Structure 1
Amino acid sequence: MKLKKLLKWALITGAVIIIGSCAVTKNIEANIVQPLEASENYRDGKFHNATPKSKPSFGEMMYVLKRYITEKKIDPEPKNGLPIQQVTRAQLDALSDDELHLVKLGHSSILIKANGEYWLIDPVFADRASPFSFLGPKRFQPTPITIDELPPIDKVLISHNHYDHLDKAAIKKLIGKTKQFLVPMGVEGDLQKWGADKSQVTRFNWWQELKVGDTLFAFTPSQHFSGRGLGDGNTTLWGSWVIQTAGKSLYFSGDSGYFDGFKKIGEKYGPFDLTMIETGAYNEDWPDVHMFPKESVQAHIDLRGVTMLPIHNSTFDLSFHPWYEPLKRVTVEAEAQGVKLTTPIVGEVFTVDKASDGAWWEKYL
């Protein structure tokens, strides 16, 4: 048990906090082969955050490790199965092409149908958020649809390369049915190693944009870190996504601590009809790389969002808080701030204008 907790701590939390800067908007079409060194936040072989942060001391890292080994958690996972709505290919194909539809697949994975196309954000279908099939945080419930059942995917968007956001097995299966992968700088190496053709993968620096018809994809900053092993920390970029299409504007946070970048993104691309904001896996021992629910709501306000979808919760046990706490706390804070939440169950199809606001988790406490 101690070994499992040790590996979980090392693989998931990382306990890494780094520094960096920002960049100006550039059209990705003019910078497809831009070298890593061209990024303003790439120095000495590593990417860095825009806001300087101090690295944790060895003692601080050992304290977190001790907590993972010795601390008893309260309700780290549901005692009973969580609600889910199965999604079929026929159901997806029957959705109208002139309205933007979304489906929460679990954790931070989102399926979008817009303009008759299907897009996936951070698709994770694995049973565990881990490099191992037998060890690491285990999924609370299955995904509402399998990769085989999905329709052809026009675009897959990746925020960063942590195991709960970049699923190797899922990517390998998606390669044959995906037209284009949009990834942070450096992540293209993994996808090509896993079988993606170079022409399938477009990599982004912060503030780079891709315009496809009437749709704009922009890769924007977040305050986080990257790494999938012991020696590759921060060698690939991390970030968030802006999507403007079909008369709607969406924001996807990826993983991030709270920082002034949210205001900058809101000023440049807002207001957003829907923000998908990380709300989970927070803790006082790593406040710079994950947000507390109060900060998640403030990020939504900074972004000039209309409706907020809390993501990054209720799927994997990645911190010390109860599985349901992020949703309870963000609901209280949203009410206090007058923020409109949408809280669909996994598999529920919803639109920006017809959001689901039921506190479904209350029945499973």
Structure 2
Amino acid sequence: MSQTVSPETTPITPPRERTFPADFKDRLTCPLPDFREVLSVAWHGGFRPDIGDADQIPVLRAGLPPVSTRDAAVTWVGHATYVLRIGGLTVLTDPVWSRKIPGVRQRLTPPGVAWSDLPPVDAVVISHNHYDHLDAPTMRRLPRHTPVFVPANLGSWFTKKGFTNVTELDWWESAQIGEVAFDFVPSHHWSRRSLFDTCKSLWGGWVLTSPNQRVYFAGDTAYGDRFKLIGDRYPGIDLALMPVGAYEPRWFMHVSHVDPGEAVQACADVGARRMSTMHWGTFLLSGESLMAPVQEARAAWIASGRDRADLWDLAIGETRVLTG
């Protein structure tokens, strides 16, 4: 089913012309794993966990319940994809509806929302260009006039595919649709889509702010001091959408991904009252057991002394609502 943009949505102004650096390697906070380290992990089976408990991954395909314009709703589609309805807009985060992405086996669980059940999409936010976060087949299903917010130097990927409303942002920059602000914020990660474009485009997370709610989408990130910087600049975050999976073997993954305990600490660092888990239960990217990310996130949350009700460990397809 083809998607359309809501007629009441005021399109964003096309981005101003400017020049970004040739690469963003100076933004890295850890050296990237070298080729020998990647081979070592692959040789020892670090990316091939037992998938025997895949049937335990909760899936609840209940559709999208209605939400008022004063409220915000998040629905986990799988991996880092959420349907976020905020300020009267429907926003997709890192949308991946494909059954398979390059380099890994097909997804373990179906998308939590059928594509045909999506309302008109008002905007898309992209955290970085890795294949599990930027999926070309999914993007081709969207109308080319859909507003897309992307990291610096990633805009040409979209314009070459015919997208006409693309906004590139550097860290701490902001754009707006209606009453919703889209702010691009730092993360501890990196970018690459081919052998020759390492860190050529930027990476980061997004803070979406409406008159009634503020939601932080972390994208992909390791742990570090940038979370506190985000919390200082954007006080009063109601909900943090945090990755909790793809963290083993730790010696290899710590430069790219938080583990569940670090995700809980990062949620505290940004000052978010609630945390919703993601980046697990969809693709096989690392060596931990399939249910470990959410189980360890629950344990870390309880150990931190926070209210269990504020940990939204959603089933795939499940929706929670932030009231206005």
Same fold (TM over 0.5): yes
1:54 aligns with 2:38: no
Residue identity opposite 1:184 in structure 2 = P
CA deviation profile, 1:254-303 (whole Å, cap 9, x unmatched): 11110100000001102311001111101221211111111111111110
* Residues 191 and 150 of structure 1, relative CA distance in 2, 3 Å threshold: same
Aligned counterparts, 1:319-338, within 5 A: 319-338=286-305
Whether contact under 8 Å (2:130, 2:192) holds in the other structure is yes
Match of 1:36 among 1, 20, 30: 20
State the alpha-carbon separation in 2 of the partners of residues 59 and 74 from structure 1. Answer: 21
> How big is the shift at 1:194?
2.0
Equivalence for 1:182: 149
Match of 1:85 among 45, 49, 60: 60
Equivalence for 1:344: 314
> How big is the shift at 1:29?
6.8
Aligned counterparts, 1:59-70, within 5 A: 59-68=36-45
State the alpha-carbon separation in 2 of the partners of residues 119 and 58 from structure 1. Answer: 37
State the alpha-carbon separation in 1 of the partners of residues 295 and 152 from structure 2. Answer: 35
Whether contact under 8 Å (2:56, 2:291) holds in the other structure is no
Equivalence for 2:77: 105
TM-score when scaled to structure 2?
A: 0.87
Which has the larger displacement, 117-126 or 46-55? 46-55
State the alpha-carbon separation in 2 of the partners of residues 232 and 51 from structure 1. Answer: 15
Q: Which has the higher helix share?
A: 1
> How big is the shift at 1:157?
0.5
> How big is the shift at 1:72?
8.9
Question: Higher relative contact order at CA 8 Å, sep ≥6: structure 1 or structure 2?
Answer: 2
Match of 2:199 among 225, 234, 237: 234
State the alpha-carbon separation in 2 of the partners of residues 144 and 30 from structure 1. Answer: 32
> How big is the shift at 1:73?
4.8
Q: Secondary structure at the match of 2:286?
A: coil
State the alpha-carbon separation in 2 of the partners of residues 338 and 81 from structure 1. Answer: 27
1:75 aligns with 2:54: no
Residue ranges of structure 2 left out of the alignment (5+ in a row): 1-11
Residue ranges of structure 1 left out of the alignment (5+ in a row): 1-27, 38-44, 355-365
Q: Secondary structure at the match of 1:175?
A: coil
1:249 aligns with 2:211: no
* Residues 240 and 77 of structure 1, relative CA distance in 2, 3 Å threshold: farther
1:269 aligns with 2:234: yes
Aligned residue pairs, count: 308
Q: Secondary structure at the match of 1:272?
A: coil
Whether contact under 8 Å (1:147, 1:174) holds in the other structure is no
State the alpha-carbon separation in 2 of the partners of residues 296 and 82 from structure 1. Answer: 20
Residue identity opposite 2:84 in structure 1 = I
TM-score when scaled to structure 1?
A: 0.78
Q: Secondary structure at the match of 1:80?
A: helix
Q: Percent identity?
A: 30
Residue identity opposite 1:224 in structure 2 = H
Q: Secondary structure at the match of 2:238?
A: strand
Which has the larger displacement, 337-346 or 57-66? 57-66
> How big is the shift at 1:138?
1.7
Match of 1:161 among 101, 123, 129: 129
Whether contact under 8 Å (1:307, 1:352) holds in the other structure is no
Q: Secondary structure at the match of 2:294?
A: helix
Equivalence for 1:16: none
Whether contact under 8 Å (1:137, 1:318) holds in the other structure is no
State the alpha-carbon separation in 1 of the partners of residues 316 and 34 from structure 2. Answer: 39
State the alpha-carbon separation in 1 of the partners of residues 196 and 28 from structure 2. Answer: 23
Equivalence for 2:254: 287
Q: Secondary structure at the match of 1:142?
A: coil
